[in-house]
Amino acid sequence: MHLSDWTLEQLAEGLLPQAEHRDASLHVESCARCASVVDGYHALFAALAEMPRFAPSPGFSDAVIARTRLTPEPGPVALWLRQFMPKTRRGWAMLAAAVVAPALPILGAIAWLLTHPLLTPVSLWQWATAQGTAAWASTSVVAVRWAANTGVAGVLLGAYDAARAVPPEALTVLATLLAIAIPLSVWAIVRLVRTPMKNVTYAN
């Protein structure tokens, strides 16, 4: 009995499991009809494998690049922030309302105060600075009392003396290190926001 066309095709393609491959090969060796089918497949595969690949016109790559957005994708922090951003116009309107609504009564109160004959911007400013100074004074009093009662004042004064004892060269070195470290950390944060991490999976 001859082998099926499907088996012969798989044999020619080398896709038969080992045992089946051996059995089929044995049959084909002794059967001219099956051998010619396998030969036909081999010839077809060889002819198909000879088919060349074609090249597009020379300007192809440039044309594609011209239509490609080359800006980097937002980094993970920006992506994280983005999920809180409204996606629709309605969303933006609601966000705006959420921000503006609490501000409205305050703006109303300010408007009312400004229409009051005795209240001028200058008098309001004086009142506000007076309140601020008073608050600062009372805070300072509380802080000094707390420091005195807990003995922290001694520590702070000791630290101040110690700092004065540091030679100015050391302070210069410290200042230089800070001058390098601060921009470096700012740069790192910016990179983190702008560059996607390599191993983050953005599958959908």
Partner 1 sequence: MNLALIPATDHDLIALARTGSEKAYRELLDRYQRPVFSLVYRMVRDRELAEDLAQETFVKVFNHLDRFNPKYKFSSWIFKIASNLAIDRLRKREPDTVSLDGSRHASTPDEVEATRITVESKDENPEEFLEAKELGEEIERAIGLLRPEYRTAILLRHVEGRAYEEIAEVMGVPLGTVKTFIHRARAELRETLAHLRIET
By CB under 5 A, name the binding residues for Zn ion: 2, 31, 33-34
- Choose between 73 and 146: whose C-beta lies nearer to partner 1: 73
Q: How far is the CB of 65 from partner 1 (least distance, A)?
A: 6
- Choose between 29 and 50: whose C-beta lies nearer to partner 1: 50
Q: How far is the CB of 84 from partner 1 (least distance, A)?
A: 19
Cα separation, 40 vs 63, whole angstroms: 43
Strands (E), 65-178: none
- Residue 108's binding partner among partner 1, Zn ion, none (Cβ under 5 to 8 angstroms by kind) is none
- Residue 44's binding partner among partner 1, Zn ion, none (Cβ under 5 to 8 angstroms by kind) is partner 1
Contact 128, 122 (CB under 8 A): no
Q: How far is the CB of 49 from partner 1 (least distance, A)?
A: 6
- Residue 2's binding partner among partner 1, Zn ion, none (Cβ under 5 to 8 angstroms by kind) is Zn ion
- Choose between 9 and 16: whose C-beta lies nearer to partner 1: 9
Binding residues for partner 1, rule: CB under 8 A, are: 5-6, 9, 39-57, 60-61, 63-65, 67-73, 195-196, 198, 201-204
Distances (CA, A) of 92 to 74, 79, 89, 107, 147: 21, 18, 5, 22, 49
- Choose between 47 and 122: whose C-beta lies nearer to partner 1: 47
Long-range contact pairs involving 5-10 (C-beta distance under 8 Å, separation at least 24): 5/37, 8/34, 8/37, 8/38, 8/41, 9/41
Cα separation, 64 vs 185, whole angstroms: 37
Q: How many residues does the chain have?
A: 204
- Choose between 53 and 90: whose C-beta lies nearer to partner 1: 53
Q: How far is the CB of 32 from partner 1 (least distance, A)?
A: 16
- Choose between 75 and 113: whose C-beta lies nearer to partner 1: 75
At position 176, the amino acid (one-letter code) is T
- Residue 47's binding partner among partner 1, Zn ion, none (Cβ under 5 to 8 angstroms by kind) is partner 1
- Residue 34's binding partner among partner 1, Zn ion, none (Cβ under 5 to 8 angstroms by kind) is Zn ion
42 CB-near residues (< 8 Å, 6+ apart):
12
Residue 4: closest CA among 18, 19, 23:
23
